[in-house]
Structure 1
Amino acid sequence: MKKESEGIVIETTEGFARVKASRHGDCKNCGACPGDNATVLDAKNPIGAKAGEHVILEMREQNMIRAAFVVYIMPIISIFLGVLVGTWIFNAVGYYEMAFKVVGGIVFFVISLVYIKVFDKATAKNDASKPVIKKVL
């Protein structure tokens, strides 16, 4: 499934455009991102939209769901797994159970943050994950 959003082209480069896009309804309700109701993103520009034009962007919903999972859910799961690993290590070693749980949770959380950074860079390089300008309004 694909979601559409409106935006204004700020600048263009070879096959791509930087677009100031209004957030869709789900984002407006979330409030997790700072700032106003617009975000600037890079989009494929197969139709040759020019700076200043109002356009319709199309984004794959699968990409948005995957990104939301990686950013919001994966760190929580990582903390939980870290606590479990800390408990397992405590059972093997036998000292300071709470310290092992806390350290395990922190270590796994930091690992998840590193993964988020790697995921962000990989997604930025992947053209298939970028929104596409479908038409000029």
Structure 2
Amino acid sequence: MKIEEGTVVGLNDNGLVDVKVGRHSDCISCGACDGAQHIVVQALNPVGAKVGQHVKFEMREVNIVIGAFVCFIMPLLVAAAGVFIGRMIAQSQALDVVNLEIAGGIIGFLIGVVGVKLFDRKITNDANARPKIVEVVQGR
């Protein structure tokens, strides 16, 4: 588990809170965000933190790794499989290999993008995948 700190900036009706987190080395090296100075994450709030309180929350590192794989690597692997399948079909049917490889790669990539979207929907509704507040930091 990875422990992070942030400030509660909002309470949601669904029992989650918005936590504003300063960028750290992981975020800076990723570069996926638009350069925002702070990131807001939604976290479970079992400790009853209130707006303005500084909190510690935990994130499961395995979720970060799986998310990165699904978003960045999986679509490329599926596209490569599409190229391979396109090549096999072209060779078995005596068709133009290059065109079917390109078509297979595009179709495979689109299937990969749909897979990312489905993964996003699944993980959005999974309470175990969400960050969870573990304590309110006193003296801040």
Once the two structures are overlaid, the 10-residue window that deviates more, 61-70 or 19-28, is: 19-28
Deviations 1:71-94 (A, max 9, x none): 011011111111100101111111
Give the TM-score normalised by the residue count of structure 1.
0.92
Question: Distance between the aligned counterparts of 2:38 and 2:112, measured in 1?
Answer: 28
Question: Distance between the aligned counterparts of 1:23 and 1:94, measured in 2?
Answer: 54
TM superposition shift of 1:15: 3.4
TM superposition shift of 1:22: 2.4
Question: Distance between the aligned counterparts of 1:98 and 1:7, measured in 2?
Answer: 52
TM superposition shift of 1:130: 0.3
Q: Contact 2:54–2:136 (CA<8 Å) still a contact in 1?
A: yes
TM superposition shift of 1:100: 0.4
Percent sequence identity is 39
Question: Distance between the aligned counterparts of 1:23 and 1:82, measured in 2?
Answer: 37
Residue 20 of structure 2 aligns to a residue in which SS? strand
Q: Which residue of 2 aligns with 1:64?
A: 64
Give the TM-score normalised by the residue count of structure 2.
0.90
- Aligned-residue Cα RMSD (Å) equals 1.3
Segments of structure 1 that go 5 or more residues without pairing to the other structure are none
Q: Contact 2:76–2:112 (CA<8 Å) still a contact in 1?
A: no
Question: Distance between the aligned counterparts of 2:92 and 2:106, measured in 1?
Answer: 20
Question: Distance between the aligned counterparts of 2:111 and 2:23, measured in 1?
Answer: 30
1:105-116 correspondence runs (5 A): 105-116=105-116
TM superposition shift of 1:119: 0.6
Instruction: Indicate yes or no: 2:125 matched with 1:135.
Output: no
1:1-137 correspondence runs (5 A): 2-13=1-12, 15-137=15-137
Question: Distance between the aligned counterparts of 1:37 and 1:74, measured in 2?
Answer: 29
TM superposition shift of 1:20: 1.6
**Number of residues of Structure 1 aligned to a counterpart in Structure 2:** 136
